[in-house]
């Protein structure tokens, strides 16, 4: 399959080259007498370079589209080949294909190649817009312009592939609705400023400002309509064909102010354009060529989520580590999508090596000191892994003392999902039964039942009783005493040692404490009144 695609792309480029060849041949002024061994050698070299460039282009494009990989060495070799090609065009087809003030030397060809590498990387066409002079030799024919456009494509394939890998966090930032709203507002302001600029400039040139606004020329309207289209095309024109063939769709005067507006507009419009192109890529190619982290980032898109899941499932087990980490995502839809993909890849994914790899990363997130939700989501993800995450038990026990209740609740729930191996956490979970937040208490109670249905009889429960008795004597906060009494009641009969302290609590100044103590005593020993009254 790979060879078929490779050969098909190669055939298309050969056809394209054959289309351009007549232009090149018609441009030559070579007679039979001028042929020499050197000339023949140059033609052979020219043909060899063209074929090599085509092969490298096809290979680089194929690897980028199907594997999301950037071939560094072949792409670094390209500028040398193109530089040699430009020189051979000058030697074989004549100097009329270039503009220069003095015959070009070696440095001029190096500078020419370097300049077009910079222009290829200048996605917003800032160099052209501000007429920045960075080269002595410029192209003078459409034939050379076509060769330059091919080089721009090669350079941009390398740059776009590399930038895509380096800008994942930037792309996630762009997904934010507030950021996108800001972009659209700024685009509107830019268009308004352009409108004002053009109208004022043209009105000043007019003999009568009032007459100008009464008889606004159609060419001005056309310019304002075509200006956005021209700039949008320049953003997506990877080969810089508009720049090389000197195409401009509007007639608006170009100066420093309008050039600045154009650059700002292109920068801003690149955001929705990138989003649109990404959507088209996911819809048409089902995520082919995207790396696993890039696909996972696309799970946040409601329109393409199902296609991304299918692509991740096709990638199989290599996607498991990143998908497990995604279970800690803030977006519940993304978490659910990751869980769905994991289930389809391997119903026993929790036991996989990929899950074990992800556990280490989740434990690190559990220790995050900056954001409580990162810790909570990491605990939740560890719980989803279940028993294989038992290595994280010490860290989850520490999280039971976290300052944020949601983290404590998530840690308690995770310990319960790990199950029997988490028995060492019973003392801390019993203490959590006295937590001031109901979600933590509920999670701890559920976790205790999951770990050991007879947890009340365990040594861990007995260890926790001492701490609960101390809380029962807390003089600062009545709710601490009430919750400690309630927790002792949940332990039941094994908490008999706390009966004297609970009886004392019946005289507490706060009614909630007295009620909790009475309820706990009834649960621990229904006959307590006969013994202590």
Per-residue pLDDT of the chain (533 residues; tens, 9 = 90+): 444 444 454 444 444 444 444 444 444 444 444 456 667 777 888 888 888 888 887 877 776 665 556 667 777 788 888 888 888 898 888 889 899 888 888 888 898 988 888 887 777 777 777 778 888 888 888 888 888 888 888 777 676 655 554 444 444 545 555 555 665 566 666 656 656 665 555 555 554 444 444 455 555 556 667 778 888 788 777 677 787 777 888 777 777 777 777 777 777 777 666 666 655 655 555 555 566 777 777 676 666 677 777 777 777 777 777 777 777 676 777 777 877 887 777 777 777 777 777 788 788 888 877 778 788 888 888 888 888 888 888 888 888 888 888 888 888 888 888 888 888 888 888 778 777 787 887 888 788 878 877 777 777 777 777 777 777 777 777 777 777 777 777 777 777 777 777 777 777 777 877 787 777 777 777 666 666 55
pLDDT at 25: 41
Q: Are 340 and 309 in contact (CB under 8 A)?
A: yes
Distance of CA 19 to the CA centre of its chain: 40
pLDDT for 33 equals 45
| pTM for the full predicted model | 0.47
* Owner of token pair 């154009």: 262
Is the distance from CB of 322 to CB of 290 less than 8 angstroms?
Answer: no
For the range 290-293, what are the long-range contacts, defined as Cβ-Cβ under 8 Å and sequence gap of 24 or more?
290/68, 291/68, 291/165, 292/318, 292/319, 292/322, 293/168, 293/322
CATH number listed for the domain at residues 364-453: 1.25.10.10
Q: What is the per-residue DSSP string for 272-341?
A: HHHHHHHHHHHHHHTTTT--HHHHHHGGG-TTTHHHHHHHHHHH-GGGHHHHHHHTT-S-HHHHHHHHHH
Q: By the 8 A CB rule, do 297 and 172 touch?
A: yes
Dist. CA 398–CA 411, nearest whole Å = 9
Per CATH, the number for 467-533 is 1.25.10.10
Both tokens assigned to 427 = 């003392």
Question: Which one, of 15, 17, 242, lies nearest residue 143 by Cα?
Answer: 17
Tokens of 317: 């087990």
Res 98: pLDDT: 92
Matching fold, domains 364-453 and 467-533? yes
Are 86 and 49 contacting, i.e. CB atoms less than 8 angstroms apart?
Answer: no
Instruction: Catalogue the E-assigned strands of 108-236.
Output: 138-139
Give CA–CA dist 319/369, Å, rounded.
28
The span from the CA of 504 to the CA of 467, in Å, is 17
Estimate to the nearest angstrom the gap between the alpha carbon of 320 and the chain centroid.
18
Token couple for 141? 């024919």
Domain ranges of the chain: 2-166, 174-285, 364-453, 467-533
Encoded tokens for 46: 């020219």
DSSP label at residue 254: P
The rounded distance, in Å, linking the Cα atoms of 150 and 53 is 9
pLDDT of residue 366: 80
Strand 98-99 relative to strand 138-139, pairing: antiparallel
Quote the CA–CA distance of 331 and 348 in Å, as a whole number: 24
The 3 state secondary structure assigned to 49-115 is HHHHHHHHHHHHHHHHHHHCCCCHHHHHHHHHHHHHHHHHHHHHHCHHHEECCCCCCHHHHHHHHHH
Q: Determine contact, residues 479/437, Cβ cutoff 8 Å.
A: no
Q: What is the 3-state secondary structure (H, E, C) of 168-186?
A: HHHHHHHCCHHHHHHHHHH
Strands (E), 409-487: none
* 285 to 293, 311, 430: CA distances (angstroms): 17, 10, 53
Is the Cα dihedral 483, 486, 487, 488 positive or negative? positive
pLDDT at res. 169: 47
Supply the DSSP symbol for 480: H
Distance (Å, rounded) from C-alpha 76 to C-alpha 73? 5
C-alpha distances in angstroms, 494 versus 465, 503, 506, 533?
9, 16, 20, 21
């Amino acid at each position: 399959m790979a060879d078929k695609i490779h050969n098909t792309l190669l055939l298309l480029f050969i056809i394209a080259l054959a289309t351009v060849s007549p232009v090149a041949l018609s441009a030559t002024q070579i007679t039979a007498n001028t042929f020499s061994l050197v000339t023949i050698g140059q033609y052979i070299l020219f043909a060899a370079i063209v074929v090599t460039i085509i092969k490298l282009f096809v290979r680089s494009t194929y690897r980028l589209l199907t594997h999301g990989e950037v071939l560094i060495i072949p792409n670094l070799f390209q500028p040398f080949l193109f530089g040699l090609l430009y020189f051979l065009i000058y030697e074989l087809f004549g100097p009329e294909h270039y503009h220069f003030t003095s015959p070009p030397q070696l440095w001029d060809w190096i500078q020419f190649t370097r300049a077009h590498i910079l222009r290829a990387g200048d996605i917003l066409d800032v160099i052209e817009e501000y007429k920045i002079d960075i080269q002595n030799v410029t192209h003078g024919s459409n034939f050379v312009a076509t060769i330059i456009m091919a080089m721009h494509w090669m350079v941009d394939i390398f740059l776009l592939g590399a930038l895509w890998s380096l800008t994942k966090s930037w792309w996630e930032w762009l997904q934010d609705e507030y950021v996108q709203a800001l972009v659209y507002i700024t685009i509107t302001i830019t268009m308004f400023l352009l409108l004002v600029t053009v109208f004022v400039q043209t009105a000043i040139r007019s003999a009568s400002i009032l007459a100008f606004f009464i008889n606004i020329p159609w060419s001005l309207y056309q310019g304002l309509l075509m200006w956005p289209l021209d700039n949008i095309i320049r953003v997506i024109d990877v080969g810089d064909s508009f720049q090389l063939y000197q195409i401009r769709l509007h007639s608006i005067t170009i100066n420093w102010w309008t050039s600045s507006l154009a650059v700002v507009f292109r920068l801003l419009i690149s955001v929705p354009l990138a989003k649109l192109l990404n959507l088209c890529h996911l819809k048409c190619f089902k995520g082919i060529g995207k790396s696993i982290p890039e696909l996972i980032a696309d799970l946040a898109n409601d329109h393409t989520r199902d296609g991304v899941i299918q692509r991740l499932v096709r990638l199989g087990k290599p996607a498991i580590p990143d998908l497990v980490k995604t279970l800690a995502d803030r977006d519940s839809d993304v978490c659910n999508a990751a869980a769905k993909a994991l289930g389809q890849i391997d119903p026993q994914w929790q036991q996989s090596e990929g899950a074990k790899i992800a556990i280490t990363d989740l434990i690190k997130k559990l220790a995050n000191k900056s954001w409580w939700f990162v810790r909570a989501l990491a605990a939740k993800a560890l719980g989803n892994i279940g028993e294989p995450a038992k290595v994280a038990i010490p860290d989850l026990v520490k999280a039971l003392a976290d300052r944020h209740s949601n983290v404590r609740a998530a840690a308690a729930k995770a310990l319960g999902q790990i199950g029997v191996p988490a028995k060492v956490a019973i003392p801390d979970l019993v203490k959590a039964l006295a937590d001031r937040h109901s979600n933590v208490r509920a999670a701890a109670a559920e976790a205790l039942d999951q770990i050991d249905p007879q947890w009340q009889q365990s040594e861990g429960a007995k260890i926790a009783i001492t701490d609960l008795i101390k809380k029962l004597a807390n003089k600062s906060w009545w709710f601490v005493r009430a919750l400690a009494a309630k927790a002792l009641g949940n332990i039941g009969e094994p908490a008999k040692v706390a009966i004297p302290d609970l009886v004392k609590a019946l005289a507490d100044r706060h009614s909630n404490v007295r009620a909790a103590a009475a309820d706990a005593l009834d649960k621990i020993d229904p006959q307590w009144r006969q013994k202590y009254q």
